[in-house]
Amino acid sequence: MSRLIRRPSSSVRAAAAALSSVALMATLSACGGAASGKTADSLSEVSPVFKGALTVCTDSPYAPFVYEEKGKLTGFDVDLGQAVADALEVELDVLDVDFDSITSGDSLNTDVCDVAIAAMTITGERARVLDFSSPYFDAKQALVTPRGSGLDQLSELAGKRVGVQKDTTGETYMSDYAPASTQVTPYPDAEGLQAALAAGEIDAAVLDNTVSGEFVGSNPQLKLAREFDTGEQYGMAVKKDGNIPLLRKINSTLAKIRADGTYDKIYDKYFG
């Protein structure tokens, strides 16, 4: 398991999430099927890993979803975790872990944390080891290239060096659709990917469009060349077949936030 860095609890404002009632019902239905043989209390009471706190695993930096500011982790996903913690009337504790320890299920299924909130796309492969909430964000893949490079299309990446973040849908997308001669290089985190592109170590980067703005905004020599509509949706995740009450609380909290208009305010705060 990757080394964990515990960050201090963050006091942030309520977060928001876009929900689909169909997805919500499907999630709860799936939870009910996995709960056979459990007691009534296990289906209704949330029992966090650490009493009095909701422990959230995330992968930083990945602005604007999670990043450090004044010694604390903040961002859209952290606000979202705070909203769930508020609904449970507990403190929020955020752990910065490697993304692959989240997607593999290690961090959740070994009770390192209660929930993972890490701009993580819901996929069938990940759902085999994690239980996902209803979607809370829509995303695409984006191609970021140096200005004047002439790289604007996927087909133009033949023979080029393209960076992606390891174990992400960006890496999967390039594996599936990039020209055969493209040299795809995975980086352990978004920060390393950005640094490599800025330094000219790679010719382009493919990553979620929700964070590509940060890349371009911090380096005027880069541009957002193209977006690819992959139909991705982010979800929060809990222990596989092991935390039905928390999953229900997450979904009800997301629905409430969406209904009371908080989502629009939080979205504007980070993406407006």
Judge whether residue 7 has pLDDT over 90: no
66, 75 Cβ separation under 8 angstroms: yes
Single pTM value for the model: 0.77
| Residue indicated by tokens 């493209």 | 182
Residue 79 · residue 14 · CB < 8 Å: yes
Of 151, 59, 110, which Cα lies nearest the Cα of 238? 110
pLDDT at site 266 = 86
76 Cβ neighbours under 8 A, 6+ residues apart: 15, 64, 65, 66, 137, 266, 267, 269, 270, 271
Asked if residue 245 lies in contact with residue 42, where contact means CB atoms within 8 angstroms, the answer is yes
Number of neighbouring beta carbons within 10 Å of residue 191: 15
pLDDT digits (tens, 9 = 90+) for 37-55: 343 344 468 999 999 999 9
Give 161-215 pLDDT, tens digit per residue.
Answer: 999 999 899 999 999 999 999 999 999 988 899 899 989 999 999 999 988 888 8
